[in-house]
Amino acid sequence: MTHPSSPSGAKLVAGNWKMNGTRASLVELDALKSLATQAGHPDLALPGARLVVCPPATLVAAAAERLAGTAAAVGGQDCHAQASGAFTGDIAAGMLADAGASYVIVGHSERRTLHGEDDATVRAKAEAALQAGLTPIVCVGESEAERDAGQTLAVIARQVRDSVPQTEAALVIAYEPVWAIGTGRTPTNAQIVEVHTFIHGAQPGRPVLYGGSVKPQNAAEILALSGVDGALVGGASLKAADFWAIAAAARA
């Protein structure tokens, strides 16, 4: 399902399963629905959070079927910049849309680092996503060395300028400091607010998610920070109980 009818002001809580999960893992989505039902929201329409689940591409269609009739959306984790063609192994944005996705993550730091994706590539992918009717979640974030060198805002400025398409279309930005991803380390609240405020200044009107070691224990505090419009959750999105606890911590 897409999100335009969701309550305004709700946080966007997106789970990035990365390269984890088989069809057996879809029971986590059933568990998520059970937890929501117990809390009085059987349709997953939470007052404080809009949910997106980004499983591996092999599970997008099945996840969309499992979440049909709920307010939760499904997203891909990457897409190709071209709509079709001789690109063995790649997946076009339109294919994700056809499988039931309404979002796609682009420019995740693991794609930038492990697949050599630069800002221009990320922007082309985001444009392809928009063409296919998907909402891109464009990721930016500084490395530890860049932060230590005092370059954080310069890096974010460049990534936002060069990775985010110039468009009026709905688009989400995720700030994910590379050193906070999968490490259990998070920036200070002041550091998160500084970067989110900066991105909002550069890209007014866009939701900006925080990502990097978001857990049930820190979700309420992070999601309540000024300029934080939601969370992109990796490891803690794999278990329904944790993902639910993070979503339940969101207050509109």
Catalytic residue among 108, 110, 127, 142: 108
**Residue 67: CB partners within 8 Å, gap ≥ 6?**
1, 29, 33, 44, 53, 73, 74
* Residue 121 in contact with ligand PGA, rule: CB under 6 A: no
Closer residue to ligand PGA, CB minimum distance, 76 or 235:
235
* Residue 186 in contact with ligand PGA, rule: CB under 6 A: no
Tell me the closest approach of the beta carbon of residue 162 to ligand PGA, in angstroms: 20
Rounded-to-integer distance, Cα 107 and Cα 79, Å:
10
* Residue 141 in contact with ligand PGA, rule: CB under 6 A: no
**Whether 176 is catalytic:** yes
Q: Which two tokens stand for residue 71?
A: 């307010």
* Residue 96 in contact with ligand PGA, rule: CB under 6 A: no
Phi, psi angle pair for 238, to nearest 5°: -80, -25
In 149-252, alpha helices (H): 152-163, 189-202, 216-223, 240-248
Restricted to residues 15-54, the positions that interact with ligand PGA (CB under 6 A) are: 16
**Whether 108 is catalytic:** yes
Rounded-to-integer distance, Cα 24 and Cα 102, Å:
23
Selected binder of ligand PGA within 141, 177, 230, 235 (CB under 6 A): 235
* Residue 233 in contact with ligand PGA, rule: CB under 6 A: yes
Q: Are 110 and 160 in contact (CB under 8 A)?
A: no
* Residue 55 in contact with ligand PGA, rule: CB under 6 A: no
Rounded-to-integer distance, Cα 245 and Cα 146, Å:
32
* Residue 59 in contact with ligand PGA, rule: CB under 6 A: no
Q: Which residues bind ligand PGA (CB under 6 A)?
A: 16, 176, 181-182, 211-214, 232-236
